[in-house]
Structure 1
Amino acid sequence: MKFILMLMALVISISGYSQDITSQEVLKNAIDYHDPNNNWSQFNNTFTVVMTTPKSPKRTSVISINLPAEYFSVTATKDTVTTTYTLDKGQCKMRYNGQVLDSISAKEKNMTCDRATLYKNYYSYLYGLPMKLKDPGTNLSDTVERKTFKGKEYLVLKVTYDEAVGSDVWYFYFNPETFAMEIYQFFKTDEHGKEKPDSGEYILLSEEANVNGIKMPKVRAWYYNKADKYLGTDTLVE
């Protein structure tokens, strides 16, 4: 009996299940990997993201984020059109092909300050992960799941948000050895808060870029959860 118990313990240890790990520990290890010097809270840098999608011209976005100064700007160029959205301590400014727009001309160009805020939240969230999972209104599940995605095993954290923040359910996939974030995935919910299995998208992360001392995903390939349909790729250019 003693031999059998020792053998079972050895098998469990080899398979990686000898020690339980909490969701908070996974998140801490992931943040230590991506932001070892805690630079995100003082992030101040500019980087470029090139977006490619099937049957559409590429879009090049120059993004500036200065968290201490409460400043955000994104200048996106697609074909012959360049738009700029800037939020400086909450003050919104917009440009179209270099020309500053008033509220009337902005509306004619389908540009709004709400969209500026949307871009700020979008880019700050995605490029601030996994550190942004510490933000207020973020609800981290107590359970760490082990999932196999496209033939590779991951530690997976489930995240929901307070109603004021968002209704989607997110899953974050981490390398079980390095704790690097390699995939994230989200699902829409119905009126009862239940996940819609055919909704949402998953994003495969590959390569890394060092921006402000933070290891950010360099390439993000987007797919629909339904039928694995490819949507496009964002490539971070330092």
Structure 2
Amino acid sequence: MKYLTLVIVAIISFLPASAQELSANQLLEKAINYHDPNGNWARFNGTLHVTMETPNTSNRKSKIIINLPEDYFYVKAKRDTITTEYTVKTTDCSITLNGKTNLNEAQLKANNLSCERAKMYKNYYTYLYGLPMKLKDKGTIIHDKVERKTFKGKTYLVLKVSYEKSVGSDVWFFYFNPETYAMEVYQFFKTDDKGELQSDSGEYILLTETTVINDIKMPKNRAWYYNKDGKYLGTDILKN
């Protein structure tokens, strides 16, 4: 019996980790190890070229520079005849419209340009292209239980993530391949005044193919859909 027990233990020790119980933090570490095996995100300094395709609208092409050590962010976006540029360096911000920097209030308002919007873009691109590493950021609450869910006919290991009030009120779910730990889907929901999840709110994002930038595996395609009815919203395509 003792010999049989040892054999069983030995077999179990060689089973893939997904066949055993993983804690939320263990799953996150495995996912980060897949996407950023050399820990490069913390010192990321690179350029992303992203094309956004949306139904019934011209494509928007963006050049994005993220330099985390220098706390520098730049995005140049072109759609039709309009080109906007935002630069954020620490707390300083600059705005350019079709090559012009001396913009009056009417021009800024008419084109929905502001430093608040510049910082929103910085947070947006840094967060999404920094996943899953960004889930280690302060203010992120990783829920203990790892769930196994089927989404679009495929089984995933799922992390539930919420945030401290000072960071945000949305609830996110991150879907990882149970064999490779690659992040393949994420989904977010709004919450009501009581902090309860609103099931008909938010969106889900399907991630397909991979582009490697600075040794970090990033999703090439991010296709966005409404949770409530599955309506397709658009796709961000990483062109690097």
TM (norm. structure 2) is 0.91
Q: After TM superposition, give the deviation of residue 89 of structure 1 in Å.
A: 2.1
Decide whether the 8 Å contact of 1:42 with 1:67 is kept in 2.
yes
SS in 2 for 1:69: coil
Matches within 5 A, 1:46-57: 46-57=47-58
Matched, 1:111 2:113: yes
Q: Distance in 2 between matches of 1:103 and 1:87?
A: 19
Matches within 5 A, 1:76-225: 76-102=77-103, 104=105, 105-225=107-227
Q: After TM superposition, give the deviation of residue 221 of structure 1 in Å.
A: 0.5
The two structures, once aligned, show a CA RMSD in angstroms of 2.1
Q: Could you list the runs of 5+ residues in structure 2 that have no partner in the other structure? A: 1-10
Q: Distance in 1 between matches of 2:230 and 2:119?
A: 30
Q: Could you list the runs of 5+ residues in structure 1 that have no partner in the other structure? A: 1-9
Q: After TM superposition, give the deviation of residue 164 of structure 1 in Å.
A: 0.9
Report how many residues are paired.
230
Decide whether the 8 Å contact of 1:93 with 1:101 is kept in 2.
no
- Which one-letter code corresponds to 1:91 in the other structure? D
Q: After TM superposition, give the deviation of residue 227 of structure 1 in Å.
A: 1.3
Decide whether the 8 Å contact of 2:18 with 2:179 is kept in 1.
no
- Which one-letter code corresponds to 1:51 in the other structure? M
Quote the sequence identity (%).
58
**Per-residue displacement from partner, 1:175-198 (whole Å, max 9, x unpaired)?**
000000000000011111001111
- Which one-letter code corresponds to 1:191 in the other structure? D
**Per-residue displacement from partner, 1:76-123 (whole Å, max 9, x unpaired)?**
000000000100122100000111134634345321000000000000
Q: Which residue of 1 aligns with 2:72?
A: 71
Q: Distance in 1 between matches of 2:93 and 2:102?
A: 11
User: Residues 218, 30 of structure 1: CA spacing in aligned structure 2 closer, same or farther, 3 A cutoff?
Assistant: same
User: Residues 110, 227 of structure 1: CA spacing in aligned structure 2 closer, same or farther, 3 A cutoff?
Assistant: closer
SS in 1 for 2:108: helix
